[in-house]
Chains A and B, each alone.
Chain A
């Protein structure tokens, strides 16, 4: 496998413009001869499918939900970054680029991040034109808020539902193209495999989740926009359906997996309340603008928060990181919360929680203003916990939220399989070892609206994929394999539910590959996972048949893939003998902070699949930092 990142030459600021000029075009009349398969309908998938449809390609778009509007981008709360500098506070494309590279702890590609910062401004324009009701000032101009890891206000938002509004914008553009006949939509349809013909990605195998029919679709290029793999931990802020299946199956067909161990643990989530817990709920990072994070100074202090005097509270983020305070980046805030809980100073049942306190902000700004800013989040918190955060501090604890790792892609967003493009959270690009808040929405829409429409044309014009149809043996074999997998899952008929296996896998991953990792712990996980996987295939009980709506079967297929993927994640975490961003190896720290090792690990770990029983092969894409000085990340 040879990985060529295809980073254009020349000065950073001119790369994308020059590259766009050098990319080959497909003329308008020829675009309709190309059929493009888009898997996923979140921000990246919907914006790509809509835009490619507008350009005249024939697009087929697939999602497992009943409507493309329900993809998990919808749940993003806080906002979207853009280098508009509307606040006149010193923002610029370069500063957004710089903050993102630094925030990612110098493990992302400069060229990709710079392009992301450049197109960020176009995204806001596009979304406003679609009718996205961003927050505004009384003068009628757009409002901004601050987010972690930045000292400027560059985050655009729509109350606490920014992801919803951006997705509905992309969804409405997509529905418009469906009505125009350029996009054909396949809801309640799950991708089970990628089909590679003569070395090019030429189609997919799908299962209709209502009828169980397994079918295949051929096209000239395949675009995966299938999100992240946070549900490998079972409990995460992801929607229940989020899964690794599409990217994992693509990996097994030759797509390198980049930095799988880079996962983001979000500091502000509602703590776990019991064994039945099915997911964790995020409380937007924007709350840290006005909320103060603290725990009691004394270990084992069980007094209610209101009875703990000011002098006996430890506002640990403000204490440790005075210049960023409560707005320290996510990885740092999460780790700090874990530390104080490990010291026995955590609050709430089980001691796995810290306070996020709005008392000072309510006193300073008044309850009305706080309600206007965060009302819906406060209500959500109260619905889940039955506690009123206007009166008692919220209890929060870190939870798995986002995965920076994903399929490796070059500057054109193409994976190591020609013709297979990967967008949004599903690729590894842009966020390095830690993503800054409000940057996921930016990346999803950048990839879909403003990058793939250019780079896909170049692929089609250059590679000139010949027409294929689904009668080819590559398709019929992939369909047969998918059918066999369904039958195999149903045939086990053991004693344990799919969820019980998923919970057990999640526990292993959280304990050994979560917020803090050690070589010994990762080796333990690498022993436990294959044992659990073998037990899954020996004892899982799925029930029902393959020819009907069978939600247990859907889950079984996804968990089977998580069981394989989890091992790669631990291998990657073991191989990266440094701490960076969300990847914290206890052996590598200095004064409690992550200690990077740039001399040996300033690379993207791209893993090649070599067979079910063979060890994956590590390829290294070395990262060059020519515009941002490699430095120890400090938020002190």
Chain B
């Protein structure tokens, strides 16, 4: 039963250390003893950081906030995989029972030109916000809305929109992509809004604007590796990318 585990583990952590943006970084090795299998991965980092602070050394900076898998703040590559080994699991929901006593675990920040490292495992993901600014919304100013039940939306469309809307904006798709493309992130939002009747008026200009911004930010193009879907903690489907590509193509042709 959880919480009753009496055996603890000792692991070796190899973590990326980088003092500031643009500074030279390096991997550093830390032994962490007395790790409970019921600890989350981030709690293991907490324990290590408290020890480092007590020893007068710099703790490892990492982004985190809700620690329940929804805010999208945590962002680290664990043993070569964004958010670590478990499917559909953010780093904060990964527990040490997924590792074995004596394991060596590497932890690195998201790697992408569009995500400059701020410090250690912390990166700057503001490029994703700018993609939303370019068109990831429905222009409905407060107060202008009709009654919520005025438009019927088939349950299937609504459910599929929700599947795409579950994106937490963590950027794991970018970190997983050999091209560092933000296509899954962009497509998730475009698909969510594009499946709904309210999203139709801006559908094609949205596709053009968001993809355009993605290019400006320095994300790579999508060449259908599909690594993004495998890494996505919310299991957003690559079908959203097909949808965005269709919208983008249609928008490009009609814009001529």
Contact = CB atoms under 8 A, between A and B. Distances in A.
Interface of A: 47, 50-51, 54, 65-70, 72, 74-75, 84, 86, 122, 124-131, 133-142, 158-159, 161, 164-165, 168, 171-173, 175-176, 178-179, 185, 187, 210, 239-241, 271-274, 276-279, 281-282, 348-350, 379-380, 383-387, 449-450, 453, 495, 497, 499-500, 541-544, 548-549, 551-552
Interface stretch (B9-17, B138-146, B172-180, B238-246): B138-146
Contacts of B67: 239-240, 278-279, 281
Interface string B142-158: 11111111011111001
B148 A128 contact: yes
Given A70-B169, A74-B70, A136-B153, 14 more contacts: A54-B141, A74-B66, A125-B147, A129-B144, A131-B192, A133-B162, A161-B70, A173-B137, A239-B66, A239-B67, A276-B36, A276-B39, A499-B46, A500-B50
B73 interface: yes
B93 interface: yes
14 contacts: A66-B63, A70-B66, A74-B70, A74-B71, A131-B138, A138-B155, A175-B137, A380-B68, A495-B54, A497-B50, A541-B56, A543-B59, A549-B61, A551-B59
A164 B158 CA distance: 16
Interface of B: 1-4, 19-20, 36, 38-40, 42-44, 46-47, 49-50, 53-54, 56-59, 61, 63-73, 86, 88-89, 93, 95, 97, 118-119, 122, 124-126, 128-129, 132-134, 136-149, 151-155, 158-159, 161-162, 165-166, 168-169, 192-193, 196, 198-199
Contact of A72 (B36, B65, B86, B88): B65
A548 B58 CA distance: 12
Top 4 A-B pairs, shortest CB-CB distance: A140-B152, A129-B145, A172-B137, A273-B3
Contact of B3 (A137, A139, A175, A349): A349
Contact of A379 (B88, B118, B148, B159): B88
B148 A124 contact: yes
Contacts of B192: 131, 133
A164 B70 contact: yes
B158 A497 contact: no
B139 A142 contact: no
Nearest to B163: A133
B142 A453 contact: yes
Contacts of A126: 140, 142-143, 145
A274 B36 contact: yes
A86 B148 CA distance: 10
- Among B67, B97, B137, which residue has the most Cβ atoms of chain A within 10 A? B137
Nearest to A240: B65
Nearest to B57: A543
A125 B146 contact: yes
B155 A172 contact: no
Contacts of B198: 128-131
A84 B148 contact: yes
Nearest to A163: B70
B140 A129 contact: yes
Nearest to B65: A239
A274 B38 contact: yes
A67 B66 contact: no
Given A239-B71, A240-B65, A276-B43, A175 B136 contact: yes
Contacts of A66: 63, 73, 124-126
A168 B42 contact: no
Contacts of A75: 66, 68, 70-71
Contact of B89 (A84, A125, A172, A383): A383
Contacts of A141: 149, 152
B47 A276 contact: yes
Contact of B68 (A281, A386, A495): A281
Contacts of B168: 164
B65 A137 contact: no
Nearest to B73: A70
A273 B38 contact: yes
Contacts of A72: 65-66, 71
Contacts of A86: 149
Given A140-B155, A387-B1, A159 B162 contact: yes
B99 to A, nearest CB: 14
Contacts of A495: 54
B98 to A, nearest CB: 10
Nearest to B123: A66
A383 B95 contact: yes
A168 B142 contact: no
Given A51-B142, A273-B2, A384-B93, A69 B148 contact: no
Given A75-B70, A276-B47, A380-B69, A135 B158 contact: yes
B148 to A, nearest CB: 4
Contacts of B68: 75, 279, 281-282, 380
A364 B211 CA distance: 48
A172 B65 contact: no
Contacts of A139: 152
Contacts of A277: 43
Contacts of B46: 276, 278, 499
A608 to B, nearest CB: 33
A240 B137 contact: no
Given A133-B161, A141-B152, A541-B54, A187 B3 contact: no
A236 to B, nearest CB: 11
A142 B148 contact: yes
Nearest to A143: B155
A383 B70 CA distance: 14
Contact of A67 (B126, B141, B144): B126
A58 B117 CA distance: 31
A142 B147 CA distance: 11
Contacts of A74: 66, 70-72
B39 A65 contact: no
Given A69-B72, A72-B71, A125-B147, A158 B53 contact: no
Nearest to B86: A383
Nearest to A47: B142
B77 to A, nearest CB: 17
- Among B40, B146, B154, which residue has the most Cβ atoms of chain A within 10 A? B40
A65 B73 contact: yes
- Among B20, B133, B146, which residue has the most Cβ atoms of chain A within 10 A? B133
